[in-house]
Amino acid sequence: MGKHDPDITVLARKCLQKIWETAGLRGRCWGLKSKNHRRNPYVGTNITMARGDEMVTVSCSDDKLVLHQFKKAEITALGTEVRERLLAEGLPVA
C-alpha cells in the first residue's frame, strides 16, 4: 500500500461491517510498539469483536492483517490480576 492509501485496518473494518453489527462487543484500540523490549503482537490499530464466548482482534504486521482468536476461559492470570486490583480499590465485582 502506498503512502497515501488508507490504513489496511480501515479497509478491513469496512469489509467486516456485517460481523461488526452483530458483535456483542466491538471496538478499535491501539497496541504499543513494544513492551519490555519485546515486540507486541497487537501493535498499531486493532479491530476487536466478540460474539458469545469468542473474541477476535485483527491487527496489522508487515502490511498484512493478523487475526488473534480467543475463546472464553474460566480463570486467567490477567483476569485474576484485574479482579484483585478492582477489589483492592473497594470496587464491586460480580
Residue matched to cell numbers 504499543: 32
pLDDT in tens, 12-37: 999 999 999 999 999 999 888 877 77
Domain annotation covers residue 78: yes
- Three-state SS for 17? helix
Domain count for the chain, please give it.
Answer: 1
Decide if pLDDT at 49 tops 80.
yes
Domain that holds residue 76: 8-88
* pTM, full prediction: 0.78
Rounded Cα–Cα distance for residues 76 and 69 (Å): 16
Residue type at 38 in one-letter notation: R
